[in-house]
Structure 1
Amino acid sequence: MISQILSTSKPCKKQLEFDGISSNRFILRNQVGKLILGIKNVPILKDKIIGLGNSITIVKNFDEYQYLLCSHIPTLSDESIWKFKFQKIRILIYLYIDKMTRLLVDRQPKTIRDKTFDTLNTTGNNILLETSELIQQFRETKPAEIPKLDAKKDMNLQINLKKDHFAIFQIKEKEINDILFSYYGFGVEAIKRGPELDDDNYDE
């Protein structure tokens, strides 16, 4: 799944046909046009599912960011720290949408009155905040000053995000790091793994 996200060669494009905000319909497709999630009447479902409205707003923002990141990533070298972090955000966006879809489809709820979506939305908002900060930093960085991976230092620490957003998806960030290092041709021998990270290594 993650390799497919990284290797997609399709042109960058928005994935929302209808955003559920300016329209009563919510239609989300992947990069090849396959339907991911469709909701015919968002207002009715929002009344039944606590937090769904916020989830839809988060996905709308994610769609803007995934398009922007998709446009920036090909311009960066494979040694660019920004490239690794941007790819991780793209993976997080996929994981968020996948989890949201599974909550709606697998449970087939008539109503969801618990905090299921609120918990997911907290993570979604944290991802949005870090994405916004990353893009702002990227825009303020001159091309000649774009940081590159330094094999003499702990490479995991260099590409880790400020918060471990992967935890809610039952994935360790280090696992994603290893996939990215392998995909971009950094062998295990080149990676200084350092100590295992815990919550204290991330910003609150």
Structure 2
Amino acid sequence: MSDVKLNRRALLGAAAAMGAGALAAPALAQQNAVMQGSTAMEGSAAARSNISSFRMLDWRNHFDNTNNGAILVDLTSRALHFWSADQSVYKLYPCSIPLSEDLTRRGRTTVVEKRENPSWRPTPAMRQRNPEWPEVVEGGAPDNPLGVRALYLSWQYYRIHGTHDTRKIGRASSNGCVGLYNEHIIELYSLTSVGTQVLLI
């Protein structure tokens, strides 16, 4: 009788393991699709687990053209999409988004400036909320909230930038900006120009 119970337990355990494997397959397929969406997802970035699920989009649903390139930030899926001017390059990156709705801005803007190793200065509102914050963090500092590159938008104080704090990516964690892994902002920085269209939805 004990042999029958043991065999039955082994059979049930094997069936449960097979079921768990079947349930994990779609998630694994989705993760693989995300990694294939951007060549920069290789290495350590591929192992990160705080990325929201997102999918490829068609630029024609959001822009009249891709002149100067086009960036779409989907705040719901926490993903940034980029199309080159000739549409030969498409990139899809996980990103961080603002902490709350009152810090969030939606609509159309453009890239008006690009900076390598930008200095960071908290806005007056940030200083009011966090008076202990420094007045400036110089570019290149390991604790600089803008990371290694920043795209300045026509909206005052709004940026698309890198971050050294990789825990923020895929989460509502910023004071209004859109954050990317440093390796991703380096790639996006090289693909964009002043005048690149930007849409946040």
More strand by share: 2
Structure label with greater radius of gyration = 2
| TM-score of the two chains, using structure 2 as the length reference | 0.23
Structure showing the higher helix proportion among its residues = 1
Q: Higher relative contact order by CA 8 Å / sep ≥ 6: 1 or 2?
A: 2
**TM-score if structure 1 supplies the norm length?**
0.23
